[in-house]
Amino acid sequence: MPDDISSIQSRISEIQQRIEALSPGAPAATPPAPGQQSFATTLQQAQQPTPVQGGLPVTSEAAALPSSIPTGGDIPISLPGLAVRARVPAASLGPLPSAPLTPTTDQIIPAATQHSASNYDDLIQKYAAKNGLDPSLVRAVIHTESGGDPKAVSRAGAMGLMQLMPANVREAGIDDAFDPEQNIAAGTQQLAGLMKQYGGDLDLTLAGYNAGPGNVRKYGGVPPFSETQNYIRKVKAAMER
């Protein structure tokens, strides 16, 4: 193919020379105007291999573009005889790493309002001492029964920190089962009565508090209820904390 093109170029030059010889009065060939080129030059450039970058051909016009192109806006592109503005899409950065979120003031729960049996340590110490109980036992019962929520209500109707049943509330003669002090006062009194009834046996005391003295009497010991047995384990584990 290159040999054929060379032959064509030679033939073109020969023809041009003959034309000039046959037309002595004809003006000499003028050089191409700026921005233009002779046919022979164009043909010669066509023989040159086109460079490739990234698997794509790179033309002379494209090679003249800046190597670093901003993204996310319009950029001017100037080509011979052509002036355009091209839209370059913003580079895709992918998902940004999540930054740690700082809670707003309305999301922050004051420590005093967080439910915990330890929020009532003063009352626990006061009424445990009054009823001859280990404070860790009272604290563990509150933790297991209500998680330290003074407004807790069970499906069975038990109320407050130590989950007093309505009958226990009436027996204790308290006005408000959701008041922490009244609830702990009545709950520790009930717990102390069971401890005395079962001769200090902790398992039977907790079984009576959870399932009622009637079931302890009926089964001659800890009732075979999974709830009651799990309750005893949870309270004893909480006492060790």
Catalytic residues: 145
Report yes or no: 147 and 155 within 8 Å, Cβ to Cβ: no
Q: How many residues does the chain have?
A: 241
Report yes or no: 227 and 158 within 8 Å, Cβ to Cβ: no
The enclosing H or E element of 190 equals helix 180-197
| Cα three-residue angle 210-216-220, rounded to 5 degrees | 155
* Number of Cβ within a 10 Å radius of residue 116: 14
Tell me 150's DSSP state: T
Cα 61 from Cα 59, distance rounded (Å)? 5
